[in-house]
Chain A
C-alpha cells in the first residue's frame, strides 16, 4: 500500500505550552484515519500544520511525496480541507461557490456532479445560510472535493448533527473513500470512529497515546480484564431513538 501522509516528530509550541509533542504517524492510501482525543489534545493544531495553515516548529510532514513546509503551494493543490466551523461567502449559490473555489485551483468544476456526490443537487441554487447543519457540513465536503484531492481532511465533521444526519454523513464519507480518496478526520464520537475508521490515533496532551484499528484497541482493553460497570445490551438508547424516529434525514 502507498503511504499518502507521513508525519515525523511533529511539534508545535505556543510559548511555554507544547501543543503537539513530537508525534509520528502515517496514513495509507484509501484509509479512513481518525484522530481522537479530548478538547485541547492537539488534534486541530496537528491538522492545521499538515494543511499548511500553521508553521511547523520542528519535525516533518510528507504528503503525497511533498514536504509540507517546503512546498506548501503544491500541497494545497493536493489536499481537500473542511475546517472546523468555517463558513462560506453569503449571497452566492452553492453552484457559484463551487465554481469559484474551482477557479482558485484553476479548474472548471462540474458543480452539479459534486453536489450529487454529497446529495445536495436539490440545493444547487440555495445560499449556504439556507442550509441545515448537516447540509452545511456536506457542502463543505463538496467544496473540499473541487480540486479532486488525494487526501481529505475533515475536522469534526459531525459535531452538532442529529443522529440521522450523522449517519447520513458517514455514508457520504465511506462513498468518497470507496472512490479512491484517503480521509483523515477528527471526532469526539467514539461510535463514529468505531463505525468509520480503519485506524485511530488517540491523542492526549499533545501526544499520540495509541494508534491501531478500533477493534484491536477494544480487544486489547478486554484482554487486560476490563469489564464494563453495566453490561452492554444488544441495543442502546441511540438504537431506540433511531427505531422511533427513523433513519431518514430531517434537514431536507
Chain B
C-alpha cells in the first residue's frame, strides 16, 4: 500500500513537472474553446442591410436602427451595390433625395438573389417600418401587441462545445498519454529496470492508472471552472456526476492506451494506431457539431462510439442538469466499453 501511494505520488509529480503534458491536457483544450468562442454562430440569423440615403430625412433609419435582426451599414450607392454583388449585403435600400415621411416617393430595394430567406425577412421588416412611419403621423386607434419574453436558458455554442472538448481531451490524454508513455518506458529500458526490483508489477500499473485518473479529475474541474469564469458556461449539473462519468470514460481510454502500448514497439508504431482510433471519434462523436446532421447509418454507428457516450453524458449533465440516473444509457455504454477494453489491455499489454 505504501509503495502504491509513493508510486502514485511520484507519477503525479512527474506529470506536473512535465510542461508539455500540462500543455496538452489542460491548456490546449482551453485554447480550442477560446478559439471557437470567436466563431459567431448567433450571427447567422441576421440580415445585412446597406442604406444609401440621398435625402436629409432620417425618420425611417431611426425606426430601422433598433431592430436587432438588421446589421446596418451606410454607404454610397456604387460601393453598396458592389458589396451586394460580392455577397457582403443581403439587401440594399436606396432612399431618394426627395424622400419625406409624408411623401409618396418610392424607395428602391435591391435584393441578393442568393439569399432568399434573408432578403424576404429584410423586405418585410422595411415594409413594416414604412407602415409604422405612416401610422405615427396619424391618430387612428389600432390594436397593439403586448409582448412578454420568456427567459429560456439561452444556451450558447460554448455550452455545447465545452463538455465535448472535455470528453475529447479525456480521450486524448488517456490514449496518447498511456500509449506513448509506456512505449517510451519500454524503449528506454525503464520497465526492465523495474523488473529487477521485487516490486509487484500490478502495483505499478494500478498506481499509473490512479495517478492518471487524478489528472483527469483535475482536467474536469479546471475545464468546468474556467468555462464558468471566462466563457460564461451555463453549468446546470453536478460536478461530482461529471467526475463519475469522466472516470468511467477515462478507464475506457486508458485501457485502449495500454493495449496500444502492448502491441507497439516504438513511438512510430503507436502514432498511426492512436490516430486511427481517435480521429474518427473526434469528428463523428458530436464534439464540435451536433451529430443530427449525420446520415442515418453513420448516425447509428456513431451512437456506439465510446467518445459519443462520454461526450453525451458530460453534456447532458453540464447543460441539462441531468443526474446519473438520467444518463443511464451513456453509463451503460461506457461500462460495456470499459469491460471490453480492459480485457483487451490485459491480453495485449507486455512489460518487454
Interface residues of A (CB under 8 A from B): 51-53, 73, 76-77, 79, 81, 83, 85-92, 96, 99-101, 103-106, 143, 147
B residues in contact with A81, CB < 8 Å: 193, 196
Chain B: which residue is nearest A106 at the CB level? B3
CB < 8 Å neighbour of B3 from A76, A103, A147: A103
- Which of B9-17, B304-312, B325-333 is the interface stretch? B9-17
Known: A85-B189, A86-B188, A103-B2. A79 touches B196 (CB 8 A): yes
- Whether B198 is near chain A, meaning CB under 8 Å from some CB there, is yes
Residue B339, interface by CB 8 Å: no
B197 an interface residue at 8 Å Cβ cutoff?
yes
Instruction: Verify A92–B189 contact, CB threshold 8 A.
Output: no
Would A83 and B197 be within 8 Å (CB), given that A91-B17, A96-B10, A106-B3 are in contact?
A: no
Q: CB distance A87 to B199 under 8 Å?
A: no
**Chain A CB within 8 A of B139 CB:** no
**Does B115 make an interface contact (CB < 8 A)?**
no
**Cβ distance A128 to chain B, nearest Cβ, rounded Å:** 10
| B14 near A86: Cβ-Cβ < 8 Å | no
CB pair B197–A88 under 8 Å, yes or no, is no
Does A86 contact B190, Cβ atoms closer than 8 Å? yes
Contact B192–A100 (Cβ < 8 Å) = no
**Can you add 13 more A-B contacts, CB < 8 Å, to A100-B10, A105-B198?**
A53-B196, A76-B196, A77-B198, A88-B190, A88-B193, A89-B14, A89-B190, A96-B10, A101-B197, A103-B2, A103-B3, A105-B197, A143-B193
Alpha-carbon separation in the docked complex, A184 to B23 (Å) = 45
User: With an 8 A cutoff between CB atoms, is B95 at the interface?
Assistant: no
Complex interface: chain B residues within 8 A of A147 (CB): 197
Taking a contact as CB atoms under 8 Å apart, the answer to whether B3 and A104 are in contact is yes
> Is B273 positioned at the interface, with any CB of A under 8 Å from its CB?
no
Taking A52-B196, A100-B7, A105-B197 as contacts, is the C-beta distance between A91 and B13 under 8 angstroms?
Answer: yes
Query: Roughly how many angstroms separate A91 CA and B6 CA in the complex, as a whole number?
Result: 15
Which residue of the partner chain, among A83, A89, A99, A103, contacts B196 with CB atoms under 8 Å?
Answer: A83
Q: Which of A52, A83, A143 contacts B189 (CB 8 A)?
A: A83
- The residue in chain B whose Cβ has the minimal distance to the Cβ of A79 is B196
Please, how many angstroms separate the alpha-carbon atoms of A51 and B196 in the complex?
A: 7
B82-114 interface (Cβ within 8 A of A): none
Q: B195 in the interface, Cβ–Cβ < 8 Å?
A: yes
Interchain CB contact under 8 A, B18 and A91: yes
Interface residue B121 (Cβ < 8 Å from any Cβ of A): no
Nearest residue in B to A77 (C-beta to C-beta)? B198
With an 8 A cutoff between CB atoms, is B336 at the interface?
Answer: no
Nearest residue (CB) in A for B10 is: A100
Q: Please give, as numbers and ranges, the residues of chain A lying within 8 Å of B13 by CB-CB distance.
A: 91-92, 96
In the assembled complex, the Cα of A103 lies from the Cα of B194 at a distance in Å of 12
Q: Can you give 17 A-B contacts (C-beta < 8 A)?
A: A52-B196, A53-B192, A53-B195, A53-B196, A79-B196, A83-B192, A87-B189, A87-B190, A89-B14, A91-B18, A92-B14, A96-B10, A101-B197, A103-B3, A103-B6, A104-B198, A105-B197
**In whole angstroms, what is the CA distance A104 to B204 when docked?**
10
B199-A90 in contact (CB<8A): no
Residues of A within 8 A of B3 (CB): 103-104, 106
The interface centre, meaning the residue of A53, A87, A88, A143 with most chain B CB atoms within 10 A of its CB, is A87
Asked if A92 contacts B10 (CB within 8 A), the reply is yes
With the chains together, A89 CA to B191 CA distance in Å? 10
Fill in one digit per residue for B182-212: 1 if any A CB lies within 8 Å of its CB, else 0.
Answer: 0000001110111111110000000000000
Which chain A residues lie closer than 8 Å to B195 at the CB level?
53
B192 and A76 form a contact (CB under 8 A): no
Of B18, B192, B194, B198, the residue contacting A90 (CB under 8 A) is B18
Residues in chain A near residue B194, CB distance under 8 A: 104
A104: B residues at CB distance < 8 A: 3, 194, 197-199
| Shortest distance between the CB of B160 and any CB in chain A (Å) | 36
> With contacts A92-B14, A103-B2, A103-B6 known, is A86 near B193, CB below 8 A?
yes
Chain A residues whose C-beta falls within 8 Å of the C-beta of B6 in the assembled complex: 99-100, 103
Tell me the smallest distance from the CB of B9 to a CB of chain A, in Å: 9
Cβ of B197: which chain A residues have Cβ within 8 Å of it?
Answer: 76, 101, 104-105, 147
A76 touches B198 (CB 8 A): yes
Contacts of A85 in B (CB 8 A): 189
